[in-house]
Amino acid sequence: MKKLVDNSQQLLNDVLNQRREELYPSYSAQDYFEIFCSEQVLKEYDLSYEEIYSGIVDGEHDGGIDSAYSFVNGEIIVEDLDISPFKRDVRIDLHLIQSKTSGGFSEGPINKLISISRHLLNLTANYDEFSQYNQAVKAALDNFRKAYRGLASKFPSLYIHYHYASQKADASVHNNLRLKADELESVAKELFPDAEVNVEFLGARRLLELARRRPKTTYELRVSKSFNAANSLVVLSPLKYYASFLKHSDGRVRADLFESNVRDFQGNTEVNAEIVNTLDKEKSVDFWWMNNGVTIIGTKASLNGDTVTVENPQIVNGLQTSTQIAQHFREQSDDLRSVMVKIISSEDEETRDKIIKATNSQNYIQPATLRATDKIQRDIEEALKAVGLFYDRRKNFYKNEGKSAERIVSISLMAQSVMTLLLSRPDAARARPSTLIKKDTDYGKVFSQKMPIALYSNAALLIGHVDRVIRARTDLRARDRTNLRFYVLLWIASVAAKHAPLNAISIASLDVKSITNNDIEEAIGEVWILYEQLGASDQAAKGSEFPKLIISKLEEKLTTNRSGIGKIIRT
């Protein structure tokens, strides 16, 4: 009997080509496939393009891992992640992804995963002894190890996920390969006996299924009582139904619900202790009598019987209450009490920002935590639109609109770029990607309405140009590209401005369009020499000596150039 034709591989190829052209036009097919696989596998984490790219570790000596991501309670683990807020009911997920554009499934990649797991998932291993693996994969797995060990006293639940994706594979997996997958699971279980481990094979058909699955944007909340007014609802929701509203199907709390909440979970504070006490012990009175409740904003909300449907919900106040309710129902199956929920619907972004600010201003909090709603952030968003870029002031807003990844600039990338250019601190930009502007003093140095707005648009254009040229350099390792990008940014801007260090006016006055790929290639060459002198390592890129050396060499170069010009004029 003739085998039926499966169109999955051709359809997947079409999807990949079309999406690459729309979202990542300067990426190779292999590079985009790695990003595509990571995006599909991790869709429920709602990662930004920048977060997805941060997990790519592919390259020479990657040990069979093309992408590596780890999460604590749904929050991506980066090298400067503060784990102190995670107090109890901690869940850690490690995702290791192999992405192949050619050939079907084979035993070779599984053997590599077995070997690297034995070596680099060992919590006591000295990574210096494993020169066969590149810096990028070691750094990614070391982030996981540090977080896991740092949270050991909380006895975290650990889930290890291996994903083997092949663009050319069909749905069938040979029995011998299944046996290899069992061996891989056994190796991980030997290292982490209490972990849940799984190995997943993703052929063309499965990848298409994942790609078709859209991130959920509409959610339902069961209620017992309601008061309905124009564009708003006040409801009482039974605690167990509210807890379900907060969670994914696998029990993880949906971190994306809290992206507009200006506070993180505060841990064992007096307020949280009171919430826990009310949930656990005050059973004689209803919960909402003793709690201020929760505020949710959405683009639309409608009540139908005992169910409220909310489109694009965001919990803008009540993170502490929500987190404690979610934890309460890890052990409770039934609780007849209710929580009060205010639901406000508005599609106007300015109105939504006002609500976020107002609902978080009843108690004093650091002003910098309201950054996304600041006027300067709105001004930057408009300035970037004028030069064809999109400012990710509201995480993934433009990603969800289908804008090209290469034209989206996050708040953190803007902060890193401005700190590099204005304060000559590429070391801080490299070492503290997620905590760079946590303090108000640091934030004020980088984001200010006193700065010319062109400073921000030029910074965004320049880092985008630098990244495109560096990414095309296949002779550079992934880790080196990460380590060099901000140093190259500082070098090229200083050369273009003809002086170092730079200031706000000189950055805003740069003619960015006049900077060519060759100019950036030359800058990469100059910076690489200094980087290599210091050991060409993460430590060099994060240390204070590298920026000093860069500024010194720039001053020397620019002084020499000015002297040469003077001689020509005098002649």
Token representation of residue 208: 């298409």
> What is the model's pLDDT at position 486?
97
- Three-state SS for 83-130 is CCCCCCCCEEEEEEEEEECCCCCCHHHHHHHHHHHHHHCCCCCCHHHC
- Single-letter amino acid, residue 361: S
> What is the model's pLDDT at position 348?
77
Nearest to 557 by CA among 492, 489, 469: 492
C-beta separation of 504 from 446 below 8 A: no
- Single-letter amino acid, residue 354: K
Rounded Cα distance between 486 and 540, Å, is 13
Average predicted confidence (pLDDT) for the chain: 88
C-beta separation of 34 from 201 below 8 A: no
Condensed to tens digits (0 to 9), the pLDDT of residues 84-129 reads 888 778 999 999 999 999 888 999 999 999 999 999 999 999 999 9
> What is the model's pLDDT at position 283?
81
Condensed to tens digits (0 to 9), the pLDDT of residues 458-504 reads 999 999 999 999 999 988 888 899 999 999 999 999 999 998 999 99
C-beta separation of 456 from 418 below 8 A: yes
Contacts of 34 (CB under 8 A, 6+ apart): 56, 58, 66, 67, 97, 99
Residue positions counted in the chain: 571
> What is the model's pLDDT at position 402?
87
SS3 17: helix
Which residues in the chain come in under a pLDDT of 50? 1-2, 4, 262-266, 362-369, 565-571
C-beta separation of 456 from 384 below 8 A: yes
